[in-house]
Structure 1
Amino acid sequence: MTRPALLYLTHRIPYPPNKGDKLRSFNLLRHLARTHAVHLGCFVDDPADLARVPELDEWCEQSCCVPLSPRWRRLASLSGLARNEALTLSYYRSREMAAWVARTVQTYQPAQAVVFSSAMAQYLAPHPELLSVVDFCDVDSAKWAEYANAHRGPLSWIYRREARRLLAYETSVARRVGAVSFVSEAEADLFRALSPEAAAKAFAVDNGVDADYFTSDPDSPSPFPEGEIHLVFTGAMDYWPNVDAVRWFVREVWPYLAASIPELRFTIVGMNPTHEVRALQDDPRIQVTGKVADVRPYLRHAEVVVAPLRIARGVQNKVLEAMACAKPVVASAAAALGIDAADGEHFVIAREAADFVTAIRQLLAYPEHARLLGRAARSRVLERFSWEANLSRIDFLLERPDA
């Protein structure tokens, strides 16, 4: 049986799935490819990913992967000031991408389109005949508003402007497409509150985690020396909320723990650490790994995984992955938001620095309680966070966007 053509647009190449947004966009690609001939258009902002483009053939009928230089696109995005539009739209505006989309629609005549991130919805405007679902994933405009509150001066003004302009654009997109989806019910509710005129178009399509890949395996080789106790944080370390999180943790929480637990170490695992992150290693008990081949050994052999994000949107995959590995997680309220799990039963939510100190000390002092919390966390992942089960709602939206 011939699979129907489907247009799929993403702001970043969905392979390899090595960071939060790519995990969702890749699993969505893999899901769509089971029932559709997928025509993928995306940007590539990491030169290393260009070598992986041929691997997309496993899931795509064809693909258009346009290289994007973040430095130059940041400059180009300033044209949005003159256009009175969100800078995000200018950042991802490309004549090459628009031409490819037009050719694909004319040649293959897809009836449906799935778009990942609001910025890519601009390529749907010339093609209103497509039945489209736009996966906003997060309310990006709210992220910029949080950035504005966390900064001062010109940056705060730019971020606040971006929040306003992008929300107006997100609302206009939601009103003209079949449906828009979000990574959690909390994000969908936020969008409904911010854009009541488009509320009926907003749906939650929860994230998942590969629980066959992220498993508990305490007998596997450990990356840590014997006799040490490890706290672990994972994430892309050039992403500002992650940078802010570890710097805050080292400043506000770490000294109180390190002073009383000599064997304690803090390991920050993730690609592209900034200078500010690397500087944290001035404390010899803090390690910054940079990119690692496999994050699982660090999770599996951590005593506690921490997620002290002060700014977070959507669902934190880092939390779900640690839970799938049956590790006790101490997360900020922002990092826990959107995860359908119970505080004290599946993870611990810490709202202040003192809460992090207390929760981590208790988990280290009572290892059996920590193990029970980790086992409950994995059970919750298996029960609630299957990619296939959760992404099946996209199929429903493609068939019945008015429901």
Structure 2
Amino acid sequence: MGDILFLAHRMPFPPDRGDKIRSHHLLKALAGLAPVHVGCFGDTDNDFAHEHELAELARSHCLLRRSKSMVRAGIEALATRRPVSETAFYDPKLADWVEQTLLDHPVQTIFVFSGQVGQYIPHSFKGRVVVDLCDVDSAKFEAYAKEGRFPRSWIDAREGDLLSNVEERLGQRSDVTLFVSEAEEALFRSRLAEPERSSTIALRNGIDTQFFDPSYVEPHADLAASSGPNFVFTGQMDYAPNIGAALRVMDRLLPEIRAAHPDATFHLVGRAPVSELTKRDGDPGVRVWGEVPDVRPFLAGADIVLAPLEIARGVQNKVLEAMAMARPVLLSPEAATGIDAVDGEHFAVAQSDRALIDRALAMLAEGPASLQMAVAARRYVVEHQGWEAMLAPLAELCGYPPSKAATPTKKRNAA
């Protein structure tokens, strides 16, 4: 069996944000099938500090710093009629490395993680191609355009339109296109001009239930000392849907919750918070922590973990992590997408601001019932959402003999 070429828009180490968590576990699983050659971009010094881990796993690798500014990427995109998110991840050095790797090694399968790096698939490559789009980025930008104001709305509408074409081309170029949930797969197929030319399947995210285990984690000291209740939201805090959800809590949910519980505190935990969020630190009941070494103590100290996203694509790792930590989770229907847990049994789902406020107050009042739901949440993810189970079909999808432990894949949508 031949080698695998793995291309990703972000360095899969460390697995400290949603897309990197998925690419990290995919890469580890692929390295168990065959020698893997990895081409990817690093955004931060911390990414490069983990290059030794990538070198230990990969047979060869090319890690490039993504230094192109979004302004430059935008100018290039306008000049070439390409999506900004595609030009932002183009580097001729990576294109040259891909070409040389294919000459030097017996690559059987190219695995592309995220549509931004689909541009590096050579037209001449005759082997198997697997593309993991994760979710439908074009639909996300269309949603941004509807919510935004000109000129940002025009930029996002353009991006959504051009990405839609890129996504369809990648679906036709690949032997199979992966998505993080059945809902994202169905959305992608509903948008195709020629759906019969694309083979697709949902390959869900998993969760490391040994790492996210409340048995081995003490609540953060500040949360433990608080008179509470403590509400926690985690995520990459320069990501628009997370910013929107955090502001929703601060402006629309927290004031009414604090009317009933004056000591209630909202803890915002996640890397790269934008100034719109950091300036809110110190507002009544608001703590903005920014990047922390370990999110688990904050989850362990939460009375309720919130995920009130109004725009969400795919499976939310933040939700799975909170469930694995056996904490009561209150989320929007958008954030619950792709998780087959049951409202009221494993987590609590509410849509409007009023419904979220009422549900939060009820969960606090119920006490033991909410904790029972949290225990059921952990049991659910342990039994149904482990990475090994989620990635069992990967060998077959990539053209390698399935392991004896692999579970059968569902029938793929195809021509």
Q: Shorter chain as normaliser: what TM range?
A: over 0.9
Map 1:289-304 onto structure 2 (within 5 A).
289-304=289-304
- Specify every segment of 5 or more residues in structure 2 that has no aligned partner in the other structure, as ranges: 401-411
1:226, distance to aligned residue in structure 2 (A): 4.2
SS across alignment from 2:59: strand
Confirm or deny: 8 A CA contact 1:4 1:35 kept in the other structure.
no
How far apart are the structure 2 equivalents of 1:89 and 1:273? 24
**Equivalent residue number for residue 138 of structure 2:** 141
Q: Which residue of 2 aligns with 1:85?
A: 82
Give the match for residue 309 of structure 1.
Answer: 309
Partner of 1:371: 371
Describe the SS at the equivalent of 1:257. Answer: helix
Q: What one-letter code is carried by the residue in structure 2 that aligns with 1:195?
A: L
Instruction: Give the aligned partner of residue 48 of structure 2.
Output: 50
Letter in 2 for 1:271: R
Asked whether the equivalents of residues 10 and 25 of structure 1 are also in contact (C-alpha less than 8 Å), the reply is yes
Moved more, 204-213 or 193-202: 193-202
Q: Deviations over 1:61-92 (max 9, x none)?
A: 1110010125x244234322222222222111
In structure 1, the partner of 2:172 is 175
Match of 2:205 among 200, 204, 207: 207
Q: Quote the residue 2:406 is aligned against.
A: none
Q: Would you say the 8 A contact 2:234–2:270 is kept in 1?
A: yes
Q: Does 1:18 align with 2:16?
A: yes
Measured in 2, the distance between the counterparts of 1:73 and 1:281 equals 28
Task: Kindly indicate whether the alpha-carbon contact (under 8 Å) linking 1:8 and 1:115 is maintained by their aligned counterparts in 2.
Answer: yes
Q: Identify which of 180, 189, 211 aligns with 2:186.
A: 189
Hey, what's the Cα distance between the residues in 2 that align with 1:344 and 1:222? 27
Q: Report if the CA contact (8 A) 2:179-2:185 is conserved.
A: yes
In the alignment, what sits opposite 1:113?
Answer: 110
Q: Report SS of the residue matched to 2:280.
A: helix
Q: Which amino acid aligns with 2:308?
A: P
1:331 deviates by 0.5
SS at match of 1:181: strand
In the alignment, which of 159, 175, 197 is matched to residue 156 of structure 2?
159
User: Does the aligned pair in 1 maintain the 2:217–2:300 contact within 8 Å?
Assistant: no
Report the Cα offset of residue 130 of structure 1.
2.4
> Is the 1:218–1:300 Cα contact (8 Å) retained in structure 2?
no
1:280 aligns with 2:277: no
3-state SS of paired residue (1:85): coil
Equivalent residue for 2:33, pick from 27, 32, 35: 35
Code of the residue aligned with 1:178 in structure 2: it is: D
- Alpha-carbon separation, structure 2, partners of 1:130 and 1:4: 10
> How much does 1:22 deviate?
0.2
CA distance, structure 2, for counterparts of residue 47 and residue 147 of structure 1:
30
Query: Is 1:222 matched with 2:226?
Result: no
* TM-score normalised to structure 2 length: 0.93
Q: Deviations over 1:305-359 (max 9, x none)?
A: 0001111111110000000111111111111112121112211111000111111
Paired letter, 1:123: Y
C-alpha change, 1:51 and 1:301, in structure 2 (3 Å) is same
Give me the whole-angstrom Cα distance separating, in 2, the residues matched to 1:393 and 1:198. 23
After superposition, the Cα gap between the structure-2 partners of 1:133 and 1:371, relative to the gap in structure 1 and judged at 3 Å, is same
Alpha-carbon distance between aligned partners in 2 of 1:196 and 1:84, rounded to the nearest angstrom = 20
Percent identity for Structure 1 against Structure 2: 39
Q: Does residue 100 of structure 1 match 2:97?
A: yes
4+ runs deviating over 4 angstroms: 400-403
Deviation at 1:142, TM superposition (A): 0.8
CA distance in structure 1 between the aligned counterparts of 2:271 and 2:239, rounded to whole angstroms: 10
Contact kept? 1:340, 1:384, Cα under 8 Å? no
SS of 1:210's equivalent in the other structure is coil
Corresponding residue to 1:129 among 126, 130, 148: 126
